[in-house]
Every structure is written in structure tokens, then in C-alpha cells.
Structure 1
């Protein structure tokens, strides 16, 4: 190569890097006329010279320009009410555009167009709006840590497939965004286009995957000036009716309530629910739970899932505490009763009276989140068999829950936060207060990260106690090779379980993680990531190892877009469990072990796809091992109808665990366990606003004891030949939900739900699966039919009409 060609090549590479590293700028055009959101873009006012084009591939082949036959052109207009976005998405094979119809916030097998908006241009948080080629909306709040799709905004969109590709038209009201009060706005902006059949994503401003942070790599939107934003006040009244029937009898319930959303200013929003109704939320997956801790459930109630990203900071907020189980457990109350008394009614949950939250972020990067909820005083009913009378016992007093989060962001990609969680119970019941200081610091180029926290808990009970937790983490977050070093200390009395959830305390730990990934496809893989991790946890008081593993995980996507994952976890050291004995100061030996799994999922674009994950764990103990498999075929009949079935099977041979505590000591058992879970889900979309959904789950599990042991003070087990109580378990659970949902207007929904469920517990093990299924279906199943109507009212629309 000549010297001239070398110099030319150097400048070409340098120029290309400079172009890709620069932020693109788009000018928004002010309008006064009306735009009909119909996906046609035929209004004269769309004729503007400022166009976002020249998209660049985000993944898998990062940095490759989009081909001319897939060119994309986007324009932005605005007025005092909203911004308007049009996108022409060219495709030389429009008949191959994927457009599965799904319910809102479900991506499915579809092409997508999306806009990412950061009203403060601070590189910290995006408001993201997606439209599929089938016209389905998705939206989320996004930080570098998570995309929160539980957040739902009210906006308008339409998509149409044409002979040259497809078209998207969007109207996003300012009420759905947050931005500064400046007369001249400068927003962070990016557009993304997903071509599903090729499993490719393109962005307008290039996102370099060598850099760990995505949001700071947005382009710039300018031109929005002197807007007079309307009052952000929205009312969502609802009414619902429930009819419940079982062998015991039937009853009918009517409910009505109101949700309020009020924009305090352009940055902060108040959300309130009065007389909440959570009757149509997804059912909890009940299981045969033999662990020493409570079962943790996912949050399904909309108020506690929508826009709660701020409250997740610090990990102090477990929203299922609000309206969860009473603080006084049924077993403890039974222990306190006299021989002639019995509990005739013990509510399993506590009703929420009202809840309110305020959240947002101002132009200086200060995020504020405040949540308050009040639950009602709850009683158990006790019957005196001698006098044939009843009395009430308080199992949960009137309780007030508060969360406060202050999160200051700076330098585009760093933050310092203060979090406080407070639980106050009326009367002489337990109170709790937990505070946390967090920091997350990134270098300007997003190559390195330093983060950590300090948390302090104070509990006021019959015996007050305090505790703390501290951690420090350093990571390289860019390039092919990345690493993380982490250390933490948790004191014995650190307790966040009044409004948060934590299982393991009283230990110190160190963790090291290293990973390698490809940034562009090879001749074999579209994506590849290899991760190694070493973790060690040591009990503070005894110095014994609580946890110690070495883990290897390989994740890859083939050129055919099939996904594979292999994991191997070895525990080469003897460890000790300080919780399974259910008694303070005691612990039990856990043998060395090795676990592995291999999972694969065929290309999701196929009409018939299948994923499967077999797993195996072997203990350094004679005859003790676990094996299992997860398998799920899915079939998409057409763009409207799809069905998926999932089978999860686990078999634990000679498993060991706590079974009882009595005068002779702590009794453990050696047992065989099997778990079978079947899930069937189906969807039929009449259109992109109307969907019928099916969710059915059958779960069966048993635990069969065959040998008993006594736990010694040194943590080891010795045979116990005298224990003879029947502690076998057989557990059946059935759930069936069939629902119809119609979004008949923006933010307004009619939903009809038929629910059928039942649960059986027994101390006699039946190993025939068909007999168990027949038993639960013939049991006293509960049937519920409910209808709910929610109507969205925009104060500005009502005001204009009057």
C-alpha cells in the first residue's frame, strides 16, 4: 500500500469515527394546524426539510449503516399540546413485515419503531414510546439499570403497511413527558427501528456497544420554543362488579373508586388511589414451600408497579408488604389461645384504604419520590366453645407506610441517592425505619464505574435493635473485556422486612466477575458472551462459609438467531446454612456440590418455536442429587392467535431439610420431592385494542420423608430412630383465568374476567399425577366472574367542552 493510500485510509477511519461519535441534531417545527393521527402523513404541514435519516445498526452488527432499501425518515412537529412524529420505514419486501397483534406492552413477533425522549438531556432517563407494525403501543421509563414497562402514558399512534414499507404517526402529549421550564428546549432524542425477520435494530444516533451506557449516546432535538403546556390533571373513575360462587355459597360485590393523576409542575406528578380495587390482578403462583423464609410474590397491582422506578433504588421497597399478610401470624395466635378457644376466621390479607405517590425529576437532575399508603385495622375472629361466644383479636393495626427517595444525578451518568422506608403501626405494635445512602459514579466516557451504599435499620419492638449494611463495587463497563469487584458487610440485626424484603444477613462477602463478549457477528455467532464469577460469603460470628461458588455462564445467538445458554456452578467448599434449622444460633452442614444447565430457544420469528432447559445438581453425599427440565413449545397460528404450553419438572432425590423442633432437639429429614408445573397461555386479538387472553396453571408437588435425623451443635446430622410423626406433604393448586380486554378510548378500558381456582393440602402422598389432577378439579373450586370499567378523563378536554 502506498503512503498516499495509507494516509487516505487513516483519515477515512478517523472521519468515520468522528461522524459516528458526534451527536446528530434534529430541528422540530412549530405548527398551528391540526394533524389527524391516521398513519397516512398527508397533511401539508408535514413538509419540512429537517429529517432524521441515515440510521446505523445497533445490533447485531454494531455500526453498520442501514441499507438504502431499508432507509428510514423521521420528522418532528410540535404545538402547545404535544409533539408529533412521523416515520417512513422503507422495506423492499413489505409482504415480509412482521405484524403480530398483541395486547399493550407485549412486543410479540412484529417490526417496531420507537422514539426515546430525554426532556432534560442529562443522559439519565428516557421516556420511550414504541409502535408495532400492527399498531400496538408499548411504553416505558428507562434508565441504564432497567426498562419499566409497567409505566403507561396516554398518547396516540397509528401504523399502516404500504407498498413501499410501513408508516408510523404519533402524538405524544407533554403530559406524558418531563422537561425543564426553559423557553428554548434541548432534548435528548433517539429513534430505533427493529426489523424482526432479520433480528436487527437500527438507531438514528449511533449507539456504540463498546460503551456500557446507552442513554448518553442519544442525539439532540432542538427547535421547541415558547410552549405553554396545559394543566396535567387526569381523573380515572372505575366501577366493578364481582360474583363469587363455591360449594359454601355465593355472593356479589360492587365497588367504585377513583384514580387521580395531577401534574404538580412540568417535572413532578401526584398519583392517588381512593378505595382501590385489585380484584382483577394476576393470581399468585402458590407452591409447596418448605423453605425457612416467606414465599416472595411478584407485584401485580398497577398502582404499585406503574412508574415506581425511583422507589426501587436501594432495594428497600417490597410493595407486597402493603396489603399483605397480617403482622400477627395465625400460628402465634393459636399458641396464645386457651384450650376451649379456636380461630373461626383469620384474614390472609389486609385491605388498603388509600395510597398516594409523588414522583419526578427537575431540570437540575434531582429526582424525588414519595409514597404513602394506609392499611386498615384487621381482626381475627375467635370462638369460645364453652360459652358459645366470639371475640375479636387485632392481627394488624391501622398501619402507615412511607417511602422517600431523593436521587441527584450529575455529569450525565452519575448519581447520589438518599432513601428512607418507614412503617408505623398504631398502638403497641412493631415500628420500623430504614435509611440508605447510595452512590453510582461513572467516568465521562462510561468506561468505569464505582458504586456503593450504606444502609441503617432501626426497629422498635418489645426489644429495640439496630443494624447496618455497607457495600463497595468497582467495575469496567465498556469494551469486549469487562470486570467487577464487589465487597459487602451485613450486620446481624440489619432488618428491612417491614417495608422491604431480605433473607440473608450477618455475613460479609467478596465477589469477582469477569466477562468477554463479541461486539459484531462472527462466522458462527451473532452474539456471544462468556462470564466467570467467584463469590464467597462468611458468617460474621462463627467465621464459617455461608456460600462459596465458582460460576461459568456462556450465552450465544447463532446466525439463525437461535439462542443458547450454558451454566456451570461449582461449590467446592463445605458450607453452612444458618436459617434452615429455624432456631437462632444453630446451623446445618451443606455438602459440596456442582450444578449445571443447558438451555436453548429456537428463533422466535418462527411460527412454531421451542425452548428447553435441562438441569442437574450432584451433592457430595450418597444418593443425593436433583434433576429437572423446563420445556415450552409455542405456536403462532397467525398474527391474531397464539398458544404456548410450558412444563417444569423437578425431582430431588434424598433432599435434606428441617421438619420439626421438639423437646429432644431439631429434627431434620431425608426426603424425596417432585414438582410438576403446567402452564397454558393463549391469546386471540380481535384487533390492536381488543384481546382475549387465557392463563391456566396446574401445580402439583409432594415431599415424602423416609429417614429422620437430629441436628448436632456442630451442624452435622445424626440418625434419629424415635421420631415418627407424619410430616409428608401433598400439594395441589389450580388456577384458570379467561379475560377479555377492550381499550375503547385512550386510557379507558372495559375488562371481563372469569376466574376458577382451588387448592388442596394433604399429609398423604399420592404419586399418580392424573389422580391428583382429578382430585383438585373435583374439589370445591371457587368461581369468580367480574366486570370492570375504567374511564380516562382529561381535565383539559372537559374544560374545553364547557
Structure 2
């Protein structure tokens, strides 16, 4: 604890010193006054900016450089005009460039933000926290994002709006028409909106803004200027209906005798998405039988620690506006709402001893979902999401030829409700959330919770122009069901109530519910000057359970942390921007065990030539893990030290590279990590870009968990030395025929090998010396016969216990080829070809042999689909 105290003292000393030396500069807020088109004809969107209506207002200019040389005049200046009619907002930009030949006109699909671009951000709510962003690239590519939490940009938002651009002798121009139905604003007769405009000057990788900003501002939307002069407009109740139809063909290798694997399957289906403006502030999104066939596949991954792997949500309905429902409680991904639980893979496998063939759905069918969200003029954010997933069955054929249907997932209703109320001139908010997952239970799925509820309260307060903040949350969960389901939760790796050395938890096989709590608290400095800091912590009680509709990796955990950063925002002769950081973190469990302490120092620099580098070092003098032995005693890892170094070339260049390494080693070579990554990107044409990333990871360990066995009435925890290697490569090809017609390819082979040797067992799980922690089996104690290891630990000539060969190799190839055509704004046609190979390789083989024998020699599964959508705007 002495080291923790000393470092905390240094952090606080640095914080005090930083506050004493900083001088904050309050920049003057700008305003722009627009006017209505009136009797004049509204502008035609052609990029020319020549219509008489544009002469009603003056240009506004005087953009100021934001990055890299904050507060100075930009290399090239920009002008902006804004006018409106009763249905639309019109925005014009004139981006000066002395040599138009240097304008970078790279193509890309929507939200790629390629080359030179200019954008406008609109805070039509006037709440200093949320906004709408519209970006125009010089090549005509559109970008649009919803801004939440004063700076989180969500590019899944896809409104209908119109854009055209032109190159001229002065540079380039952009002209936008933004329907008012795509914005949200009050019914006040005279509106005051927040606005900001940013231009990217590609040649110098420079950002300039209309409203001047300090370097590293305390927020984004809160720093906007004002748009004045909008009078008499009426909020538009949005009504959009988008039906779709999908034709799909799956082909795969035929399996002789298996009627479920005859070589091909076909499907024709349809569904509907709708967006309905209930009021001018609140929108109802509805999806019926949604299809996500064009969504990228998840990357390859293998976990040996027993925990669930977290994958990002990629489905459009759940991704759009997801920030409204976000409720983090600390940890990497811990959240009360994890939308991938909706439509998850069925949780029951009906495979039994007499099963010959089985046809089980890959995912649970989402019958429908509705999402009600928005923000009122009084600063109340509301979000309600409800979804129903179908009862799913697997078709089963037994060895005697009998056929049956087996329930693998029950009918389930999911509900999430979220509110946040702004106050204190939008500098503070308080909010709450409630979630529920209610299943229509059946005996076959009695291992699942019948009901799962969670709720929480959160708050944040900013003061002194958002320089300082304090935030926190408190949550509670309750799960109910059969004694079987609650016992399953108690003994799951998230909880492990059966841990043999834990006195504060115990397994009760008669319980029918669990109730847990959690929370977090943090205060810090988020703006002003060159110093930032944060001090906080979070906790999750042993009975906290969120995994029916949320994500929780590990309960029974208390963590504290402190972070101090120094920003170097003023460019020098050798860098554009840089930062240094130092941090510490520690953790305990609810029994008071001191499990972990970690110290880290790191830094980032963007060099003068626009290359970049990041370096850091971490020291972990104390590492105890409650979950390593899967219910056994706390396990101690030897002290660990690691360093990381990543760097990259100028990403604007036609050919650019990045790469790096992580090098970790623990005391007595308990375990090591040697990770190498290299990425290359090549843009031979404005319309074509290619990228390739290769990752190799070698993570040997002397103590990888294998299994638990019984030795003379005593638990025996069997470990082994492991040589673990991972190799993956990710290829992406993007070809943009024009901004509305693109071809994208994604492909990733993934290989994982695990080879065991030097088996051992746990002696003293928390001994500081590795030689006292474990004992190696000698050759006379262990032998390998017919795919299993036989252990005669007491050397009496009889096998005391045995375990299977843990060696394995996993191989996978996933690819996706998507042609996307937005034939009119908001309406699309997708042509998709997906291909996949998954199998088990031979860990004795080299990577090259595995590729030849397990990947290239297998017949892949192919999916071909055509999806067409049409968006009706009513």
C-alpha cells in the first residue's frame, strides 16, 4: 500500500501544481443571423450558390485554426451562409484554396469523411449536449452523425438530406439542403440554435472552426456559437416507412445421410422499418422482422479464461441512437443494456446421447422491436426500447429415425427505459434506467432466469465553464427463476460462490432469486489549460447479475483509479501535438482481499511530418485472480512488467503504414506476451482504397488452467505450460463508383493454436514463489494413452485421475462482399456474398500447413442475398 499512497500523493501534487499554473482563456461566443427565403425561389442544390435567395444574407468567415496550431489564422479561409424556408435549412460553403489542383477529392461510402471536407453542427435543441452533424467532402460524399453527451459522434444516424459540390478557380464550394423534419426543435416562434462549422484542409492536415475553440475543450456542443433569425417555422413530425425484401441462397458441403445438410437452402422474406414523429421532439422507430444480412461478421477470437467475449453491436436498428440507452457501471464493457442479447444464439442445445442429426437456428428471431426516443424542449431525454423474440425450436433426428422438435429458446420480451433531465443551465443532469427480460418459461429451458430486472440512477455536474466535473451512478439487479437457474448463476464464472476460500459468499441450491448492487463515482478536471485528471472508483457486489439484457464480466469487485495527463497543444519545430499520462489502479473483492495494483506511464506524439507514435510501460507488482481456478482458491500470478510501442506514417499519403508491439514478461517467466501488429493502407485511385492488417500473438505460460479433478477426496487443480499462438489478417477493399454506389470487401482468416506440456498442479495458490505455487508431474506420474492423460500421483500403480488432451487449433475464415446502391436518398439495394469456413485444426501443424489443410481444402459455406429497401417520406 505504500506505493499506492506515494503515487496518489504525486498525482495530487501534480494536480495542485497544474491548477496553480494554468490560465484559462474564455473565448467570445460568435453569432450569425439568417433570414427566410420569403417570396424568392429556394436554392437549387447544384453546388453553384448563384440563386438570388443567397443574396439575402451575408457571408460569415474568419475561421480560426483549431488543430494543430490552435488560435492562429488558418492556411486557407472558409465562408458560410445559412438561409431557410418553411421546410428546409440551406447551408452554403466557399472553401478557398489557392491551387485547386491540391484539393483532395477522394471517394468513399457515406460517413467515410475522405479528403477535404467541411461540415456544420447544429444544436437545434439548444441544450449544449446534443446536436446534428452534416459533412460534405469535396468529392460529394455525405457524412452525418448524431452528437450526444457533449461530444460523442454516432455515424449510424442516416437522415435524408441533399448535397452537391463544385470545384472552381477559388477552391471548392458545397451546397446543402437539410429538411427540417430531420432536426428536432421547440415550437417557439423565434429559435436560437447552437452552430459550429469545421473545415478539414487536407493538404496540411489542418482543422479550422467558425466558432474559435481552445485546445482540448471541455466539451463540443457546449462551445457552439449561436444561429439567430429563425422565426415562424413549425416543428415537422417525421413519418418515414421503409419496407424491405430479401432473397437469400445458402450453399454448403452436402453431408451424406443428413437431411438438414443437403447442400443448399433458400429463403424469401420481407419486413418493415418505420420512423414516426410522435411529437416534434420524440420519435418512434419500429422494425418488424428485421434483417441484418449485410452486417459485417464478428472478428475471430478465442478465450481460454472462461469469460464471454464482448463483440460490438453492428445491427443498424440497435446501433442508431444507442447512446440514449447507454448506462455504464465501470469496467471494459459492463453495461445495464447490451443490445446483442436481443436476437442472441439459442442458449439450449438439445443434442443428446441418441441424437443423430440436428438443425438448430443460429439466432433467435426478432419478431419486432420499437424504440421511442427524443428530447423535449424542457431538457428531458427519453428512451424506451421494447422487443419480442420468438420461441425457437431445433429439429432433431435420433439414431432410431424418430423426429422431434426441441425448444431451444423461449418467447422473450425485452424492455429498456431511460430518462435524463438537464438542469442548472445544462451544466448538470440526473437520470435513470430500468431494464427487464421476461421469458415464457418451459421445463426444457428451466436453466434460464424467468425474469431479470435491473435499474439505476446516474448524475453529472459540471462547473466553472465545464472545467471541473463530478459524476456517478448506482445500480441494482434482481433475477428470478427456478432453483436450477439461480444455482447456475451462483456457480457461473461471473460469480463463483463456490470458491473454496471465500467466506463472504456461499452456494445455496434452494434460492430462487439474486439481488445485487453496483455503482461508480468519479471527479476530475475535463477542460481548461494543459492539465487533466480523474480520480474515481466502481463496485459490483457478488450477487449483481446483468447478463440477461446487459453485460457483466465479473461481479464481487471493487476498483479505484487515478489518472493525470499533461497536454502539449502548441506545435513546435518537431511535433504538432503531444501528451503524457500517468495512472494507477487497484482492486479488492468484497471479502477485503487486496487483489491488484497497477502503475502505468505513457505518451503520444503527433510528429511535425504528421507521423505519430505512442509508447507506454506498465508495472503490476500484485496480481491475484479469484476466477482463475474456476471455483478454487484465489490464484496469484507473478509480478508483471510490460511495454508497448506503436507508430504510424502520415495517413493522408497514398501509401501509409502503422504497426507496433506489446512485450510483456512476468517474474520467473510465469507468463509472457509477445504481440506484433502491422497495417498497410494504399489508395491508388481516389475511388479505390485497400488496407491489410496482420496480427501475430505468442503468449506462453507455465500455468494455464486445464481442469479440476478429485484426488483422494481433495480437489486437484491441474495446470499446464501452454504455447499459445494467434495469427490473423484483415483485408478491406473499398471501391466507390460514386458517392451513392460502392463496393466493399472484407476478409479475415484467423488461426489459433494451443499446445500443452509440462503439466502441473496447484500446491499453494497464493505463494509468491512459482516453485511453491505449483508442483510438476514427473514422467512416472503421468502418461498419455488413447487421447487422454492418466495420472498416478501417489505412484501406487493405479490411475488416480485422468483428463483429456487439451491441445487444439481453431481456424476460421470470414468474408463479405457488399455492393450498395443508394438509388434515391434513403432507399438502397444491397447485393451481398458472404463466405465462411470454421473448423478444428491440428496444433502440431505449422500455420502454413493449417491454412493448406484446414482452410483452403474445406468447402466454404456461401450466402448470396439481394436486399431492396424503399423509404417513403410522408
Counterparts of 2:293 and 2:702, CA distance in 1: 38
Report how far residue 725 of structure 1 moved: 2.2
**Conservation of the 8 A alpha-carbon contact between 1:180 and 1:266:** yes
Aligned partner (choices 667, 677, 687) of residue 738 of structure 2: 687
Q: Deviations over 1:1-35 (max 9, x none)?
A: xxxxxxxxxxxxxxx967x4233333343434232
2:584 corresponds to which residue?
534
Mapping of 1:76-475 within 5 angstroms?
76-108=82-114, 110-143=115-148, 144=150, 146-209=152-215, 211-248=217-254, 249-314=263-328, 315-328=335-348, 330=349, 337=352, 339-341=353-355, 344-385=358-399, 388-410=401-423, 411-427=425-441, 429-430=448-449, 431-462=451-482, 463-475=512-524
Counterparts of 2:106 and 2:67, CA distance in 1: 22
2:794 corresponds to which residue?
none
Counterparts of 1:246 and 1:384, CA distance in 2: 23
- The count of aligned residue pairs is 766
Counterparts of 1:466 and 1:17, CA distance in 2: 49
1:717 corresponds to which residue?
774
2:806 corresponds to which residue?
727
Q: Deviations over 1:438-478 (max 9, x none)?
A: 01110041110100110001111222011111221110112
Report how far residue 325 of structure 1 moved: 2.3
**Conservation of the 8 A alpha-carbon contact between 1:80 and 1:230:** no
Sort the Cα spacing of 1:49 and 1:724 in 2 relative to 1 into closer, same or farther, 3 A.
closer
Q: Deviations over 1:329-359 (max 9, x none)?
A: x3xx55xx5x545672343421111111011
Report how far residue 93 of structure 1 moved: 1.7
TM-score, length-scaled by structure 1: 0.92
Sort the Cα spacing of 1:414 and 1:93 in 2 relative to 1 into closer, same or farther, 3 A.
farther
Report how far residue 265 of structure 1 moved: 1.2
Q: Secondary structure at the match of 2:58?
A: coil
1:35 matches 2:48: no
1:64 matches 2:84: no
**Conservation of the 8 A alpha-carbon contact between 2:31 and 2:228:** no
Report how far residue 425 of structure 1 moved: 0.6
Counterparts of 1:459 and 1:724, CA distance in 2: 35
Q: Secondary structure at the match of 2:327?
A: helix
Counterparts of 1:90 and 1:773, CA distance in 2: 55
1:745 matches 2:819: no
Q: Deviations over 1:584-640 (max 9, x none)?
A: x63322111011111111111111100011111001123732211110111110201
1:569 corresponds to which residue?
618
Q: Deviations over 1:635-687 (max 9, x none)?
A: 11020112111110001123532222333433222110110001111111111
Sort the Cα spacing of 1:264 and 1:392 in 2 relative to 1 into closer, same or farther, 3 A.
same
Q: Secondary structure at the match of 1:492?
A: coil
Sort the Cα spacing of 1:308 and 1:198 in 2 relative to 1 into closer, same or farther, 3 A.
same
User: Unpaired segments of 5 or more residues in structure 2?
Assistant: 1-23, 255-262, 329-334, 443-447, 483-511, 767-772, 783-790, 792-801
Counterparts of 1:513 and 1:182, CA distance in 2: 44
Counterparts of 1:278 and 1:633, CA distance in 2: 29
Counterparts of 2:453 and 2:553, CA distance in 1: 18
Counterparts of 1:515 and 1:501, CA distance in 2: 30
Sort the Cα spacing of 1:140 and 1:27 in 2 relative to 1 into closer, same or farther, 3 A.
same
1:799 corresponds to which residue?
none
Counterparts of 1:608 and 1:210, CA distance in 2: 30
Q: Secondary structure at the match of 1:121?
A: coil
> Which region of structure 1 is more displaced relative to structure 2, 375-384 or 601-610?
375-384
Report how far residue 788 of structure 1 moved: 0.9
1:647 corresponds to which residue?
694
Report how far residue 774 of structure 1 moved: 4.5
Q: Secondary structure at the match of 2:300?
A: coil
Sort the Cα spacing of 1:725 and 1:518 in 2 relative to 1 into closer, same or farther, 3 A.
same
Counterparts of 2:839 and 2:717, CA distance in 1: 28
Q: Secondary structure at the match of 2:522?
A: strand
Report how far residue 107 of structure 1 moved: 1.7
Report how far residue 771 of structure 1 moved: 4.0
Report how far residue 736 of structure 1 moved: 2.0
**Conservation of the 8 A alpha-carbon contact between 1:703 and 1:765:** no
1:11 corresponds to which residue?
none
Q: Deviations over 1:111-141 (max 9, x none)?
A: 1110010012221111111111111011111
Q: Deviations over 1:126-169 (max 9, x none)?
A: 11111111110111111335211111111111111111110000
Counterparts of 1:382 and 1:343, CA distance in 2: 6
**Conservation of the 8 A alpha-carbon contact between 1:236 and 1:793:** yes
